[in-house]
Amino acid sequence: MHEFTQEVEELAKAVMEYSLERLKSNPPLDGPRSEQDLYAELGNTITPQGLGGKQTLKVFTETLALACISTDHPRNLAFIPSAPSEYANLFDLVVGASSLYGGSWQEGAGAVFAENQALKWLIDIAGLPKSAGGVFVQGGTMGNLSALVVARDQARKAHPNVKRWVIACSAESHSSITSAAHVMDVDVLKVATNSENRLDGAHVAAAIDELHTNSDSRVFAIVGTAGTTNLGIVDDLATLADCAQKRQIWFHVDGAYGLAGLCAPSVRPLFNGVEHADSFIVDPHKWLFAPYDACALVYRNPELARETHTQHASYLETLHDDSWSPSDYAIHLTRRVRGLPFWFSLAAHGTNAYTEAVEEGIRLAKESAKLISAHPNLELVYEPELSIVAFTRKGWTAAQYQAWSDALLEKQIGFIPPSKNLGEPILRFAFVNPWTSLDDVQVILDTL
Ligand SMILES: *Cc1c(COP(=O)(O)O)cnc(C)c1O
């Protein structure tokens, strides 16, 4: 297996050539094809004899890759796209070539040391104590779930007789909170937002106190969203923290997208209160210029997470000394050191470059909002708070939005699927890519 034959040597060249070309040139937008269509072209690629490296690479580069939308295209403003730095992407190749095991200190000390320094930067800018710590997990969904399981374990210790456990959050919180509740078999209390569309302590306190008075259910976690996925609105974290603390309830901040803004002075005050969080998450694969898939999950008191998540078995016992094993802090055991591309880029570029790149997204959102306000057919839904701009096209039905979006992708101009706000269709731009320019925005606006 380890023979680097002439054939492998040639494949290595081809792989490097393709990868470097992909990283150097403007990414194509591309788009999906049907399963039947792909099968008609490729047939079954898994065969007893194998296709050989060269041919299989060709299947990928000439067909499969073109049937995937590039999330780093400057006019892909859908959902939350991605914009890995060149350094992060290049280092991902190194990670792939290195067979690093990221579950334990024993096996991955050097890599885990580096991941922890990247986490430390996030801990520092969030204002959590030095003793805070965590782990990179696959995504915000796993991060939220892992943190909420710890929160419930703590609540169970304090209140052993509770029948139903409840998570309090807003209706705008991410779908992964509801998904976590489903996995955990707990309920969700969706609390109304205030006049600024933020979840705040007063509203949550009233809803929790009413629930605790009138039922046997008990809230074990308050989730504040630091940058809603749809509109980029940051909940009032300071009053949520206060409400949680007074009731001895775990305070979790879901900042999968928005907490990247911690490093941007122009929006940093929006996150005041995050320093009181018992746990928080932020996805470097969203707005911190790292490739998929990486979510930074941080606990104020990592010891509590370790009590919940450490796996015990005779074959794992050598791992349980005093060293820091990432597998102890979330629902996982074997893990890729997925925080390393983020670490490499952060270490190489320095944190100032991150501040500038995040501020660039915020600036672009503000400039775009101006263009939208001045556009005769468009209406801004909400003055952008972070880097998401939501707007409507006057007079359009949902079907017209969809047809416009389909045509935009068909013509390879951009990828902007419609979303909804208060039940009505909207369009939204999510800016995370420093290579997106105001000219790119204008190109899209000209089609509206
Ligand atoms: C994207 C997002 C998530 C989910 O993160 P994944 O990495 O996609 O699992 C959770 N919360 C918020 C606020 C998000 O924007």
Per-residue model confidence as pLDDT tens digits over 363-402: 999 999 999 999 999 999 999 999 999 999 999 999 999 9
CA distance 368 to 370: 5
Domain termination residue (choose one: 334, 349, 364): 349
Asked, for residue 87, whether it belongs to a domain, the answer is no
State the closest ligand 1 atom to the C-alpha of 144, by its place in the atom list counted from 1: 10
**Statement to judge: residues 341 and 395 lie in one domain:** no
Q: What is the pLDDT of residues 120-156, one digit of tens each?
A: 999 999 999 999 999 999 999 999 999 999 999 999 9
Model pLDDT, residue 2 = 65
Nearest CA to 147 among 335, 290, 277, 243?
A: 277
Structure tokens at 313: 């078995």
Same domain? For 230 and 220 the reply is yes
* pLDDT of res. 403: 98
State how many domains the chain has: 3
Residue 82 C-alpha from the chain's centroid: 9
Identify whether 446 is preceded by a cis peptide bond (ω within 30 of 0): no
| Cβ–ligand 1 contact at 176 (below 6 Å) | yes
Contact yes or no for 362/264 (Cβ under 8 A)? yes
Q: Is 180 a pocket residue for ligand 1 (Cβ < 6 Å)? A: no
The CATH number of the domain holding residue 426 is 3.90.1150.170
The best mutation among 283, 285, 419 to test binding of ligand 1, ranked by most ligand atoms within 8 Å of the C-beta, falls on 283
Longest dimension (CA), the chain: 74
How much of the chain is in helix, strand and coil states, percent to nearest 5? 50, 15, 35
Question: Are 168 and 193 in a shared domain?
Answer: yes
Q: Are residues 115 and 53 in the same domain?
A: no
Parts of the chain with a pLDDT under 70: 1-2, 319-320
366 and 337 inside one domain: no
Alpha-carbon gap, residue 314 to 367, rounded angstroms: 59
Q: What is the pLDDT of residue 314?
A: 86
Is 155 a member of any domain? yes
Is residue 47 a part of any domain in this protein? yes
Q: Which range of residues forms the domain containing residue 149?
A: 94-349
| 291 and 429 share one domain | no
Say yes or no: CB of residue 225 within 6 Å of ligand 1: yes
| Cα(295) to centroid(ligand 1), Å | 9
Atom 7 in ligand 1: which residue has the minimum CA distance?
A: 139
Q: Is 143 found in the same domain as 60?
A: no
What's the pLDDT at 297?
99
* This prediction's pTM: 0.98
Q: Do 388 and 333 share a domain, yes or no?
A: no
Residues 107 and 149 in one domain: yes
Q: What is the C-alpha separation between 176 and 144, in angstroms, rounded?
A: 7
Residue 359: inside a domain: yes
